[in-house]
């Protein structure tokens, strides 16, 4: 299931020796977007030249965006030797790092050398100032270089800065921009890194590009220094030859005097294919020089940014209200289906499923195409089964047919849901006294259920059920409650009566009892089909253990019966007239019901033919 909510792209850095502070996805932008990067070095020269161990007090770069570009986000990076200078100044405005990354290089001669990169969001600052020259100052590394001469001795001291600006331009195609940041290092100890960008959803490779911010690359050190994408060697000559990818250059202004800082991008549309979901990047350094000695540049990778044409929707859910109604039977649920972080519209008839815990309650569908940045609002009343008690989690899942399966390809397949927890108060069921009925045989009786509740408010609007589930679902209502025959003994009955706020539930049991039998005073066993036997009503199949004795007027026992043997006016006792019709006359009975609640009954009956 897509399960609960920016695009999550798995980003793995595989090294052959160690893991550092890995670069990971920081932010994603979807729309008519592109980016521009500016920056400068604080090194006076390349580390492999002269005067390489001095850090300038400041440096500048010019931002020059097109007039039809709208700034969406702006980020400042600054980096250098040491564990970090967290406070700098940009155009007389002080900034403090919100993120700081560090990596260590273990040098065989100079020991552990630490390098840092800091980050700050300066979007509001760039929006206020726009296209001007930006000057960074107060990045002071003098104490670091003085206290640890290993940086200069190893010729790996540096300092610099860069501003990344993401902008919107309606003339651009719909792009997906993924900005990854952190800090990674390759050097003579770790000569290769392979990076996998997954789930990149490449729908159109035209205009695709990839950019980097890297530190400490030297032009003079070009030993085994290459950059590959999907196995293809990248180059941008003469600025970035294939054997010297990190050489102090800026692809945006074609500068080759950035000194230990690289702000570069490459067009990659020929190296990716429509339908690709993974991009492989490989960085290498290290080889043997003309004297046969091994040499390698130290390169620190600070960020990676990709610009890909990826026209897809991104359905998300926002629950605005969820409330248990009417005795826990229904939930009032209001929510939005959004298509905010998208590069295409979300089509009409996209399924939306609602779950209570893991139980599917309902599936609805969007009515219209939801354009980029738009939403569709839903107000629903959802029936909740009665088996949920105390607490339930309601989940609304966009693009879900009801079993976790989606039908729309999206930029992000993991952020489709929102959820909310609801308390379910125990529903009060009021118990009434049992209702008793005379057993008509086999523990069954007829009941007037309405008569039993006629003292309750609104009783005339009542509905009767034999289970609580049926009551909540409205299934199998008792059709004729004034003449109802029970099926069980005892049998529970549940009554639903409307109230001002919802409804009330009552319950009572139906039970049968043995009522005194009615004994007739005459019967006519003449074979006409009417009154042909001594039919004591309320006796047979009720007092199943009874014993009936019949005597003639002389006191002679002429018949003995039970629940299976009924008296049809013939004798089954005595020596004479067995199984023959008895004459008209008065006969006397003794009826032992064999029930401790009743006494032995005696009396007479007149037999006539």
Q: Residue 257 above 80 pLDDT?
A: yes
DSSP string, 469-512: HHHHHT-S--S-GGGEEPSSSSEEEEEEEE-SSSEEEEEEEEEE
pLDDT band at 120 (very low <50, low <70, confident <90, very high): very high
**For residue 1, is it within any domain?**
no
Same-domain check for residues 435 and 302: no
Same-domain check for residues 302 and 381: no
| pLDDT, position 20 | 44
| pLDDT, position 279 | 80
End position of a domain, from candidates 309, 337, 362: 309
**For residue 564, is it within any domain?**
yes
Phi, psi of 560 (to 5 degrees): -135, 125
| pLDDT, position 453 | 95
Q: Residue 605 above 90 pLDDT?
A: yes
| pLDDT, position 198 | 66
Q: Residue 391 above 80 pLDDT?
A: yes
The residues pairing with 560 across neighbouring beta strands, listed in sequence order, are 549
Same-domain check for residues 405 and 446: no
**For residue 6, is it within any domain?**
no
Higher pLDDT, 271 or 3: 271
Same-domain check for residues 433 and 325: no
| pLDDT, position 531 | 93
| pLDDT, position 203 | 63
**For residue 91, is it within any domain?**
yes
- Cα distances from 190 to residues 18, 105, 193, 217, in angstroms, run 8, 10, 8, 15
Q: Residue 387 above 90 pLDDT?
A: no
Record the tokens describing residue 547, joined without a space.
């014993």
| pLDDT, position 481 | 96
User: How far apart (Å, rounded) are the C-alpha atoms in residues 459 and 452?
Assistant: 10
Q: Residue 478 above 60 pLDDT?
A: yes
Same-domain check for residues 230 and 322: no
Nearest alpha-carbon partner for 35 in 132, 101, 126, 159: 126
Q: Residue 487 above 70 pLDDT?
A: yes
Same-domain check for residues 451 and 564: no
Q: Residue 41 above 90 pLDDT?
A: yes
The residues pairing with 422 across neighbouring beta strands, listed in sequence order, are 392
Q: Residue 426 above 80 pLDDT?
A: no
State what percent of residues in the chain have pLDDT above 70: 94
Same-domain check for residues 399 and 433: no
B/e letters for 327-363, b = 16+ CB within 10 Å, e = fewer, are bbbbbebebbbbbbbbbbbbeeebbbbbbbeeeebee
State what percent of residues in the chain have pLDDT above 90: 63
Same-domain check for residues 191 and 288: yes
**For residue 450, is it within any domain?**
yes
The reported pTM is: 0.58
User: How far apart (Å, rounded) are the C-alpha atoms in residues 294 and 188?
Assistant: 8
End position of a domain, from candidates 286, 309, 332: 309
Phi, psi of 189 (to 5 degrees): -85, -40
Domain limits at 384? 316-424
Nearest alpha-carbon partner for 427 in 333, 328, 501, 334: 328
Nearest alpha-carbon partner for 170 in 264, 272, 26, 72: 72
User: How far apart (Å, rounded) are the C-alpha atoms in residues 55 and 259?
Assistant: 11
**For residue 445, is it within any domain?**
yes
End position of a domain, from candidates 405, 424, 443: 424
| pLDDT, position 92 | 95
pLDDT band at 200 (very low <50, low <70, confident <90, very high): low
| H or E element in which residue 422 lies | strand 417-424
Q: Residue 247 above 80 pLDDT?
A: yes
Same-domain check for residues 594 and 544: yes
**For residue 554, is it within any domain?**
yes
pLDDT band at 12 (very low <50, low <70, confident <90, very high): very low
Same-domain check for residues 392 and 531: no
**Mean pLDDT, the chain, whole residue set:** 88
Same-domain check for residues 527 and 499: no
CATH number, domain containing residue 407: 2.60.40.10
The 8 Å CB, 24+ separation contacts for 527-534 are 532/568, 532/569, 533/566, 533/567, 533/568, 533/569, 534/566, 534/567, 534/568, 534/569, 534/589, 534/605
Q: Residue 50 above 80 pLDDT?
A: no
Q: Residue 53 above 50 pLDDT?
A: yes
pLDDT band at 18 (very low <50, low <70, confident <90, very high): very low
- What mean pLDDT comes out for the span 71-91? 97
Q: Residue 19 above 70 pLDDT?
A: no
Q: Residue 593 above 50 pLDDT?
A: yes
Domain count, the chain: 4
428-474: per-residue pLDDT in tens?
889 999 999 998 888 899 999 999 999 999 999 999 999 988 888 78
Q: Residue 533 above 50 pLDDT?
A: yes
> How many Cα atoms within 13 Å fall on the side-chain side of residue 5?
7
**For residue 463, is it within any domain?**
yes
Same-domain check for residues 438 and 338: no
User: What beta strand segments (E) does 146-275 contain?
Assistant: 159-168, 175-186, 192-198, 204-215, 226-229, 232-233, 261-267
Q: Residue 225 above 50 pLDDT?
A: yes
């Amino acid at each position: 299931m897509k399960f609960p909510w920016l695009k999550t792209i798995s980003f793995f850095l595989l090294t052959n020796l160690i893991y550092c502070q890995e670069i990971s996805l920081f932010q994603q932008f979807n729309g008519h977007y592109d980016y521009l990067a500016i920056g400068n070095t604080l090194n006076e020269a390349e580390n492999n030249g002269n005067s390489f161990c001095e850090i300038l007090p400041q440096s500048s770069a010019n931002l020059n965006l097109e007039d039809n570009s709208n700034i969406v986000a702006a980020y400042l990076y600054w980096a250098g030797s040491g564990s970090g200078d967290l406070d700098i100044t940009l155009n007389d405005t002080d900034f403090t790092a919100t993120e700081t990354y560090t990596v260590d290089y273990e040098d065989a001669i100079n020991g552990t050398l630490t390098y840092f990169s800091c980050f700050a969001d300066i979007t509001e600052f760039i929006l206020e100032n726009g296209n001007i020259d930006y000057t960074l100052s107060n990045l002071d590394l003098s104490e670091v270089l003085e206290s640890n001469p290993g940086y200069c001795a190893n010729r790996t001291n540096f300092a610099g800065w860069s501003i990344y600006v993401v902008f919107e331009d309606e003339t651009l195609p719909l792009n997906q921009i993924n900005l990854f940041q952190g800090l990674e290092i390759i050097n003579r100890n770790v000569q290769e890194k392979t990076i996998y960008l997954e789930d990149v959803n490449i729908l159109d490779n035209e205009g695709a590009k990839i950019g980097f911010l890297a530190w400490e690359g030297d032009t003079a050190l070009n030993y085994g220094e290459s950059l590959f994408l999907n196995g293809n060697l990248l180059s941008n000559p003469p600025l970035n030859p294939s054997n010297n990818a990190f050489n102090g250059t800026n692809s945006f202004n074609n500068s080759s005097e950035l000194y230990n800082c690289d702000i570069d991008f490459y067009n990659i549309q020929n190296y990716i294919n429509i339908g690709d979901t993974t991009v492989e990047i490989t960085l290498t350094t290290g080889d043997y020089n003309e004297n046969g000695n091994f040499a390698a540049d130290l390169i620190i990778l600070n960020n990676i940014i990709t610009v890909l044409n990826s026209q897809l929707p991104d359905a998300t859910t926002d629950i605005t209200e969820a409330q248990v109604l009417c005795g826990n039977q229904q939930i009032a649920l209001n929510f939005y289906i959004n298509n905010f972080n998208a590069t295409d519209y979300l089509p009409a008839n996209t399924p939306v499923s609602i779950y209570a815990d893991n139980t599917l309650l309902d599936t609805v569908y969007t009515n219209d195409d939801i354009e980029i940045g738009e939403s569709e609002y839903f107000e629903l009343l959802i029936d909740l089964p009665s088996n949920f008690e105390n607490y339930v989690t309601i989940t609304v899942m966009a693009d879900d047919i009801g079993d976790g399966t989606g039908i729309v390809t999206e930029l992000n397949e993991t952020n489709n849901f929102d959820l909310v927890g609801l308390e379910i108060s125990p529903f009060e069921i009021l118990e009434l006294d049992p209702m008793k009925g005379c057993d008509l045989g086999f523990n069954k009786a007829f009941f007037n259920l309405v008569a039993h509740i006629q003292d309750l408010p609104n009783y005339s609007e009542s509905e009767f059920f034999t289970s609580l589930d049926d009551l909540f679902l409205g299934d199998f209502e008792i059709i004729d409650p004034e003449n109802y025959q029970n099926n069980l003994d005892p049998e529970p009955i549940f009554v639903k009566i409307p109230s001002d706020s919802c409804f009330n539930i009552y319950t009572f049991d139906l039970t049968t009892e043995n009522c005194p039998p009615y004994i007739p005073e005459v019967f006519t066993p003449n074979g006409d089909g009417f009154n042909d036997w001594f039919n004591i009503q309320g006796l047979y199949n009720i007092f199943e253990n009874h014993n009936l004795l019949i005597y003639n007027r002389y006191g002679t026992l002429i018949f003995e019966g039970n629940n299976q043997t009924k008296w049809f006016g013939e004798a089954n006792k005595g020596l004479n007239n067995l199984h023959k019709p008895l004459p008209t006359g008065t006969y006397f009975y003794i009826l032992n019901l064999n029930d401790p609640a009743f006494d032995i009954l005696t009396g007479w009956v007149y037999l006539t033919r």
